[in-house]
Amino acid sequence: MARASHDWPAAAELGERFSDMRPLRSGARFAVVEARDTDAGRNVVIKVPHASSGAWLHDALINEGRILAELGGHPHVLTCYEQLTLADGRPALVLERCLGSIYGRLHRVEPMELQNVVAIGIKLAGALETAHRHGILHCDVRPRTVLVSEWDEPVLAGFDEAVRLAAAADRPPLHDLTPHTAPELLEGKAPTAASDVYGLASTLYELVAGRAAFRTYLGESPASVIVRVLSNPVLPIVRPSVPLEISDLLTWSLSAQPSDRPPSPAWVAEELGRVERRQGWPRTRMIVG
């Protein structure tokens, strides 16, 4: 169902510096428009909560802006240029313009080349390791929150679900439950670094296999998906083109118990680096700040 036009910010609300505004998408919580920032001379996207949203969603977007500012400069984290307040009181983030999500690219041409998937995994692991060292848990790593920059690089977005590590125990329940959500989060437990390891591995699994480890089916209820994630083991990826060590790493990282997973994103990147070395591929640098 199309959202009402007032969910998207009007040019008058943003000021004369933004032109050529074009609605991109309107999800369950946020609307996103593309615009030209004439002062900076660049194309941007502007993310705002829907007009009917509550204060908690405003707070989530403000928190996302602060986190992106803190992680700013990392080449594989989405850049936030500015935070604005609209005339109706809604916050808005002025963000880096990207070419779409990894999910969109995967489902246009599949499967993705394995060498590229491994490099993406190392780069995203660097972004997550950086966030963790800043005391930030992403909590929503999945193919739709990994965007492709104008330089054809993966960038981690979707930090509106993120939480400070110090406050993780008081985190409210997730608003979006997906096939990539870690089992402990589905059970209402506090997130940890292992929750992001799960999301990273689940994303890479879909990029390698062409489907999620726990894909949803048409008409399936959320409760049914949750039961499968909590009770069924992850099937290994059996394919001649996929080395056993890749399949083993992903199934290990998708263990139901957080303590059974690799201890950090950096650990996952190290294992992926070993794959690159054994395959004779160019080495990908994990950037941590």
pLDDT of residue 1: 36
Lowest mean pLDDT among 53-67, 93-107, 213-227: 213-227
**Which of 60, 205, 70 minimizes the C-alpha distance to 130?**
70
Q: Does domain 5-96 have CATH number 3.30.200.20?
A: yes
Per-residue pLDDT tens for 118-166? 999 999 999 999 999 999 999 999 999 999 999 999 999 999 999 998 8
> Using one digit for the tens of pLDDT, what is the confidence trace for 210-255?
999 987 777 888 788 888 888 888 999 999 999 999 999 999 999 9
What whole-number distance in Å separates Cα of residue 205 and Cα of residue 251?
9
Q: Considering the chain, tell me which residue range(s) the CATH 3.30.200.20 domain(s) occupy.
A: 5-96
Q: At what angle do helices 114-133 and 265-279 cross, to 10 degrees?
A: 150
Mean pLDDT over residues 46-54, rounded?
88
Query: Mean pLDDT for the chain?
Result: 90
∠ CA 246-248-251, rounded to 5°: 110
CATH 1.10.510.10 residue spans of the chain: 99-279
**Of the candidates 181, 186, 127, the residue with the CA atom closest to the CA atom of residue 157:** 127
Helix, strand, or coil (residue 266) = helix
Long-range Cβ contacts of 36-40 (<8 Å, 24+ apart): 37/81, 37/94, 40/81
Quick one: what percent of the chain has pLDDT higher than 90? 66
Q: Quick: pLDDT tens for 166-181.
A: 888 777 666 677 889 9
Give the pairing type, strands 98-101 and 80-85. unpaired
Residue keyed to tokens 């590229």? 116
CATH of domain 99-279: 1.10.510.10
Task: Please report which confidence band the pLDDT of residue 6 belongs to, taking 50, 70 and 90 as the band edges.
Answer: low
